[in-house]
Amino acid sequence: MSEIVNSQQSDHEVRHHALVEHLVAELRPVRRLWPVRVRLAAWIAIEAGVLLLVIRNTQRTDLAQQLRDPWYLFGIGGFAVAGAIGAAFSLRSAIPGREPRRIELGMLLALTVASALLFLHEPINLLMPIGTFIHEGLPCAFGIAMFASLPLLALFWAVRRGAPLAGGAGGALAGAGAFLLSFALMRVNCPIDEGLHLFIWHFLPALIGVALSAGAGFLLFRKRSRVARPSSR
């Protein structure tokens, strides 16, 4: 019995040394990731750029007045904060051992749901002709995707630079960061404050965007084996 254990032990050591020598041969200096807060700040700078663009080209004529309405501010603020938190979590998900915990994810979800519940405060017009509803809504859905595209690409690039252990979760969090903030930007841009419009043409496209990002993350953040296994086993 002890002979078997000893032979297994020495076998393990031989393989370990072969692997170590193989990895040492592959060793190159690497550029460390910037800290999460620095990368998050860079991402928020991108979002700020998009916000400036939105404010300059907004279709709202009552923005100054709306900004004094606490419901409007809570709605925008809730989604903006949720988006920033989602982005921070996605950056953390690219570092082993620093993935967001369940309670943190739960808080992000709760904040998103609470912000979405503010739609109930907006009036709902069920008498609008379906054609008009679609005609007014499609540009908003397109806008959500447009506003999210650059921040999403930046987040995907940043997450891919790291080593995400769960690709789908990393993608979903990056999507949450980009699309929830895009939702907030669209509230600044879109002059329609109607509950059904906000839900169907703003919120649902953002949710679909998050789901697609999760799928993209699953495919893009798969573990890539850049180091071949040592041939001797």
Partner 1 sequence: MTSLIRKMAKGPIGELFYLDRPACVFRSHRSVVQPSLHQATLPRNFSRCGLRAASPVNDPFWTAGSVGTRSAPILVIKKIDSASEERSQTRARLMARMQDGDSDSCRALLDDIGPMVTNFLRRRIADRNALEDVYQETLMAFFQARHTYDPSRPLEPWLFAIARNVAADHARHFWTRARVEHLTDQMPEQPAGEEPRSDSSLEDAMAKLPEQQREAFSMLKLEGLSIEQAADRVGVSVGALRVRAHRAYKALRKLISE
- Residues found near partner 1 in the complex (CB under 8 A): 1, 4-5, 7-8, 12, 15-16, 19-20, 23-24, 26-33, 35, 94-99, 162-163, 165-166, 223-227, 229
Give the integer Cα–Cα distance in Å for 11 and 5. Answer: 10
Residue number, 68 or 233, with CB nearest to partner 1 = 233
CB of 213 to partner 1, least distance (A): 21
Q: Read off the DSSP letter of residue 197.
A: H
Residue number, 95 or 200, with CB nearest to partner 1 = 95
CB of 117 to partner 1, least distance (A): 30
Residue number, 95 or 204, with CB nearest to partner 1 = 95
Q: Find the DSSP H helices in 57-166.
A: 63-66, 70-93, 102-117, 130-161
CB of 98 to partner 1, least distance (A): 8
CB of 12 to partner 1, least distance (A): 7
CA nearest 183: which of 137, 134, 136, 148? Answer: 148
Residues 6+ apart with CB under 8 A from 76: 184, 187, 188
CB of 23 to partner 1, least distance (A): 5
Residue number, 151 or 167, with CB nearest to partner 1 = 167
Q: Tell me the C-alpha to C-alpha distance, in Å, between residue 224 and each of 17, 79, 148, 160.
A: 23, 33, 27, 10
Residue number, 51 or 154, with CB nearest to partner 1 = 154
- Determine the distance from the C-alpha atom of residue 143 to the mean position of all C-alpha atoms in its chain, rounded to a whole number: 17
